[in-house]
Structure 1
C-alpha cells in the first residue's frame, strides 16, 4: 500500500489575483474567476499557449543535467513554476516529490494521486478499474480507444471537511504537439480526460502530453482538487 503524505501547514495561494492577471495576458475578459468553469476555460487556454509559464524561472538544461536529483516543475494557475525534487520511490512505484516550501505530491505514472501542503489537499486516489496514465514502464502510447470510460475515487481534505468523491471520466486523443521544456523538445500526442463528479457540481478536463515513441508523460495539466489546475512538467525523469 502507498504511504500517506504527512499533514503539512497550508501555503497561501493568491487564486483570484492570478486568474485575473492570466486572463488579461491571454486576452480573456476579466471577472468570474470564482467559478470552476472559469478555471477550466483558463486551463484550456494555458494548454494551447506558447510557453505555458515563464521559461526563465526554470533551471537551464545544463543545470538540470548537472543535478543528481530527478526534478519536475509544477505551476498552479499559471504562477511561476516551483521546482520539486524526487524524495523517494515507494514500493508500488509511486514517486514522491517535494519542494523547498514543503509542498509534497505523489505521482503514479503520470497520475497526480496525492498533494499535501496546499489549502485543499488531495489525500488519496484509487482507480475503479483501469487508469490509462497510471502505468509505469510501458513501451509506447497506451491503447486508449476514443470514448473510453473510467472511474476513480478521490479523498479531498478541504476547509469544508473531508469527503470522498467518485469521478466518471471519458477519454479521447487530441492532436500531436511538439513540447518545449527548459530548452528540450519532445514529440508528443495529447491524451484528454474529461471528468465529472457524481455528487458534486464539479467537472474538468485533464491533458497528458505523451511521448510518441515511449508513451512517457513529459507534461500534464491536472485538477487535483476543485481549485486551479496544476501544470506538471518533467525536467529530469526518475530513474
Structure 2
C-alpha cells in the first residue's frame, strides 16, 4: 500500500466498526498527498540500548506494516525509519536528547528545541544534523474515525545547515494527554511528506 500511495490509487476507507473490532492498532498513511493506506501495527520492540526492565509504551518502537511489506517505524509517533517506500527511505533518526514529543508538547515544561541526526537513501546521506524548534499554532479540530476531536497543533521547524535546507513538520496532539493524533512529517530533507492519522492507539498486548 505504501508503494502504491504515490500513483493515485483509490484511497482506503475502512468502516469505523471494523477498525474498532480489529485486535490490532492501526493508522492511515498518505505519502505525497496521494493514496490513503490502512496500515496495521505488526511488531513492538524495545530500543536495543534499553534494559528490559525499563521497557514501556512510552519508549516502544512500533513497526507498522503494509500489505506489500512497506514498513514505518515510530516512537511516540515520531518517524524513525521507513522500508520499501517508493521515493526513498529514512534509514535512521537518532538523538542524545529526549524528543519533545515524548515529553508532551501540551505541557508548558517541555523544551521547544531539539537536535537529531538523520540518515536516508537513495544515496549515502549519513549523519546530517537537524535542528528543530517547536511552535504552538492553534487549537484545531481533526477528524479521527469520522469524529471531530479538538487538538493542539504544533509546527516543528527543522533546519539542516549542511544542506542549507529547512522544512516544517506538523503535529496535532490531544489536549489532555499529549498523544499525537495526526502528523505530517518529511521522510528526509529531499523526500516527500508522510501523513499519519492514528485510528486505534497502541497498548500493551496489541502486538507480539
Q: TM-score with structure 1 length normalisation?
A: 0.71
Given that 1:172 and 1:191 are in contact with CA atoms closer than 8 Å, whether structure 2 keeps it comes out as yes
Partner of 2:43: 88
Question: Aligned residues, how many?
Answer: 187
Given that 2:26 and 2:201 are in contact with CA atoms closer than 8 Å, whether structure 1 keeps it comes out as yes
CA-to-aligned-CA distance 1:32-76 (integer Å, 9 cap, x gap): xxxxxxxxxxxxxxxxxxxxxx8x732121111111111011101
Partner of 2:81: 114
Out of 122, 127, 132, the position equivalent to 1:169 is 132
Closer, same or farther in 2 for the Cα pair 1:62/1:204, shift >3 Å? same
Deviation at 1:141, TM superposition (A): 2.3
Between structures 1 and 2, the one with greater strand share: 2
SS at match of 2:173: strand
SS at match of 2:19: helix
- Residues of 2 paired with 1:179 and 1:144: CA distance? 25
Alignment of 1:131-142 (within 5 A): 131-135=99-103, 141-142=106-107
CA-to-aligned-CA distance 1:162-213 (integer Å, 9 cap, x gap): 4221101111101001111231222100111000112113311011100001
- Residues of 2 paired with 1:85 and 1:145: CA distance? 30
Partner of 1:61: 16
SS at match of 2:67: coil
Given that 1:61 and 1:184 are in contact with CA atoms closer than 8 Å, whether structure 2 keeps it comes out as no
SS at match of 2:187: coil
Deviation at 1:149, TM superposition (A): 2.1
Structure 2: unaligned runs, 5 residues or longer:
48-59, 204-208
Given that 2:155 and 2:170 are in contact with CA atoms closer than 8 Å, whether structure 1 keeps it comes out as yes
- Residues of 1 paired with 2:149 and 2:4: CA distance? 33
Structure 1: unaligned runs, 5 residues or longer:
1-9, 19-53
Partner of 1:234: 198
- Residues of 2 paired with 1:144 and 1:153: CA distance? 24
Partner of 2:177: 214
